[in-house]
Amino acid sequence: MIIYGNCGEVFRRVHWNNRGKKSIVWRCVSRLENTGLFCDALTVQESTIEQVLVTAINNTLSGKDAFLSTLQTNIATVLSKENDQTLADIDIRLEELQTQLLKLASSKADYEDVAEETHRERQP
């Protein structure tokens, strides 16, 4: 999820067709819908977002073994647990996890706490 700091709205993935040249771009919702907010956000190519994300993830993970192993465990848990659920259910769960990750992005210490809590809740 991408939130534009200036207007506070989310970016949305858009299939772009510019004079026959197709690409996937992300645009602020304020520029796609009438949200009543003035917005000066530029249109961003998805490939640019991918590059920025990879760099950010690499920076977060580099040299942080504990963070990486917790993340791997959580991903494995979600994949095995949600396997027989419907796509809609998985989407809801992924949204919860995304919200959680957003909050955690500012604090790696908190991430450890939630991981522990998740572990406790799995105990019979």
41 is an interface residue for Zn ion by CB under 5 A:
yes
- Distance of alpha carbon 7 from the chain centroid: 19
Of residues 51-70, which lie at the interface with Zn ion (CB under 5 A)? Answer: none
- Distance of alpha carbon 4 from the chain centroid: 14
Binding test (CB under 5 A) with Zn ion, winner from 25, 28, 104, 115: 28
Collect all residues with Cβ–Cβ distance below 8 Å to 108 and sequence separation of at least 6.
60, 64, 67
**Measured from the CB atom, is 11 or 111 closer to Zn ion?**
11
d(CA 109, CA 49): 26
**Measured from the CB atom, is 41 or 104 closer to Zn ion?**
41
2 is an interface residue for Zn ion by CB under 5 A:
no
Applying CB under 5 A, the residues found at the interface with Zn ion are 4, 7, 9, 28, 30, 39, 41
